[in-house]
Amino acid sequence: MLDLADYSSIGEALKDALEAFAPEICLIEADREREKQRMKYREFKLQALPLARKLQDAGFGAGDRAAIVMTNQPKWLISAYAIFFCGGVLVPLDYKLTPGEHWRLLKHSGATVLITEYPIWRQLQTDASRPAGSNVLTVVVTEAPPNADLADAHRWEEFAGGGLPAFVPRQRKDIACIVYSSGTGGRPKGCMMTHENYLEQCVALTSLYPFWPGVRYLSILPTNHAIDFMVGFFGPFTCGATVVHLRTLRPEYVREAFAKYKITYVSLVPLVLKNLQKGLQARFDALPPGKRKVFDALVRINRAVTRDRPLPIVSRLLLKQVHAAFGGRLRAIIVGGAFAEPENLQFFYDLGIPVANGYGLTEAGTAITVNDLKPFRADTVGKPLPGMEVRIVAPDAEGIGEVAVRSKTIMSGYLNEPGLTAESIVDGWLMTADLGRFDSHGHLQLFGRKKNMIVTEEGKNIYPEDIEMVFESLPVKEFCVFAANYVWPQRSMVGEQLVVVLRLEPGQTLTADLRRDIAGRNNRLLNYKRVHGIVLFEEDFPRTASLKIKRNVLAERLARFDRASAVLPL
């Protein structure tokens, strides 16, 4: 691994990595059962430099912003490196957003360059919300069919400049990326992450979960996500490891990929982890009774011998077939993006597959705590990573309070939002609005949120304010969306749902037509953003002098209701 303490920027470290590991394989790309390409570090460089040169020829330089909206694939990483090489600021956007959301964030970020895939561009190009004088001056599109009309956009494959580009150095405190943690519909929260944030996070994470040439990381979480950016790009590249991209995320191909490519690490959201568990459990349940007894006994033995720490070689011997299905080299499954339930984590650990569960926020540069497996604890999110100071602010009698973090990985602030930044970072401490407590072994346990938001099992942060626009002009007196656990705290991170609170007009009732109207609007939202219940409130909403809803006051009044009877399923 490169000694990242010697480096000032992501671009500088990657530049050296491409030289140091030139003959190693950096990327494998597969589509279903077909392997499309294997690329060495030296070939990666040969593809990235002409792109960087062409970007420079187009006037792109230090501090300029370039957005990437792509699925996980080699051209994502090649484009990102070209941007860093030019001294640019990367704006990685979630490819799953709608075109309207993309245009909104492109505008907010001030990106002058957009690099995207043809199917995404096709939708962006014709979307009604495309702004007339957009700040996006250069559009580069990958994999466009030969006869596609790209208008003034450029083909990625032909967007190559002649001659070598000039490397543009950056300082550690310069902004490397603007990463949106939320705000696709409401107030965009663009986290300004510095080069130092990433360099420090990489050192901390790889101290627990190291990469080296020969290690293979399966990239499934979107690369715009802080976790995949770190462990599916920057981390493995600065260690000479290999990243495997699948062009489809159908569960059957994901399962096959583990064995086919002998995967060492993978990052998953809890939803996918649960799906994997379900598949395995079905296979175990189908075993004949005799074999099942033997298998259960082996799992018990494995659990006993790995109580204090993982013993991969022993586990692979004891539970040979399970490990063979995962390729026999899997060292850990990294789970992130949302809270994972302890029983899911324990299921895998008992099979000898450690799950690196942790806790993090985009604002804190990926991870704050990670399970160090010494010993494995499914009931906590682990201990603070090296370099992280974590404290509990204003703890109650049980020691539960708001989790605050201070480290070199904390963002420099929210783009164009000094007020919001000042609320979130107080005296150098990032206030997470998550509720937690340390146990006697120094492990952090989480108990819910102080903020009105949910995180889905797919790792999506949803703020009620962001989805309210879909209910605009609903024929009721007033409405407001809440995270149910914010109104009725559960001391739990699971089962989070949104509810829409309605104040009906005098004499109005919740008719079947009104329900249908709500359901129809709800269906316009992406499935993970939908509300799950209706709450009827029989007073006018409390409002400020400027007529904004006082959400905290309304939440307090709603909290007096019994949740089970107040929430009418939608």
Partner 1 sequence: MRTMEQTTAEVLQLAAKHFKVPADSLSADDDFFKKLGIDSLQALEMLSRIENHFGIELPDYEVQGVSDFHTLASRIHSRL
Task: Report the site for partner 1 in 242-261 (rule: CB under 8 A).
Answer: 247-252
Q: Considering the complex, what minimum distance in angstroms separates the CB of residue 387 from partner 1? A: 35
**Based on CB atoms, which residue is closest to partner 1, 49 or 120?**
120
Instruction: Compute how many other C-beta atoms are within 10 angstroms of the C-beta atom of residue 110.
Output: 17
The DSSP annotation for 91-157 comes to EE--TTS-HHHHHHHHHHHT-SEEEEEHHHHHHHHH-TT--TT-S--EEEEES--TT---TT-EEGG
User: Which of 32, 36, 187, 291 touches partner 1 (CB under 8 A)?
Assistant: 32
Stretch that binds partner 1, among 180-188, 313-321, 523-531, 558-566 (CB under 8 A): 523-531
Number of shown-chain residues binding partner 1 (CB under 8 A): 24
Interacting span for partner 1 (CB under 8 A) from 11-19, 270-278, 427-435, 547-555: 270-278
Please identify which residue in 126, 147, 473, 527 interacts with partner 1, judged by CB under 8 A: 527
Q: Which residues contact 56 (CB under 8 A, 6 or more apart)?
A: 86, 161, 165, 166
Task: Examine residue 98 and tell whether it contacts partner 1 (CB under 8 A).
Answer: yes
Pick one of 7, 84, 95, 471: the residue that binds partner 1 (CB under 8 A): 95
Does residue 120 interact with partner 1 by CB under 8 A?
yes
| Interface segment toward partner 1; rule CB under 8 A; list 115-123, 124-132, 186-194, 219-227 | 115-123
Question: Shortest Cβ distance from residue 336 to partner 1 (Å)?
Answer: 17
Which stretch in 130-138, 169-177, 519-527, 550-558 sits in contact with partner 1 by CB under 8 A?
519-527
Which residues are within 8 A (CB) of 546 and not within 5 positions of it... i.e. 6 or more apart? none
- Is residue 339 near partner 1 by the rule CB under 8 A? no
- Short-list 147, 72, 69, CA closest to 103: 69
Task: Please report whether residue 526 would count as binding partner 1 according to CB under 8 A.
Answer: yes
29 binds partner 1 (CB under 8 A): no
Closest CB to partner 1 among 50 and 100? 100
Instruction: Give the nearest distance from C-beta 392 to partner 1 in angstroms.
Output: 34
Q: Using CB atoms within 10 A of its CB, is residue 257 exposed (0-12), middle (13-18) or buried (19+)?
A: buried
Q: Are 169 and 12 in contact (CB under 8 A)?
A: yes
Task: Locate all alpha helices (DSSP H) within 222-341, ordered by sequence.
Answer: 226-229, 235-237, 251-260, 270-285, 289-305, 312-318, 320-325
- Asked if 36 is part of the footprint of partner 1 (rule: CB under 8 A), the reply reads no
Is there a contact between 135 and 160 (Cβ–Cβ < 8 Å)? no
Residue pair 481/464 in contact (Cβ under 8 Å)? The answer is yes
Strands 429-438 and 425-426: antiparallel
CA proximity to 20, closest of 44, 43, 2: 2
Rule CB under 8 A: is residue 422 a binding residue for partner 1? no
List contacts with partner 1 (CB under 8 A). Answer: 32, 71, 95-96, 98, 117, 119-120, 247-252, 271-272, 275, 457-458, 523, 526-528, 530
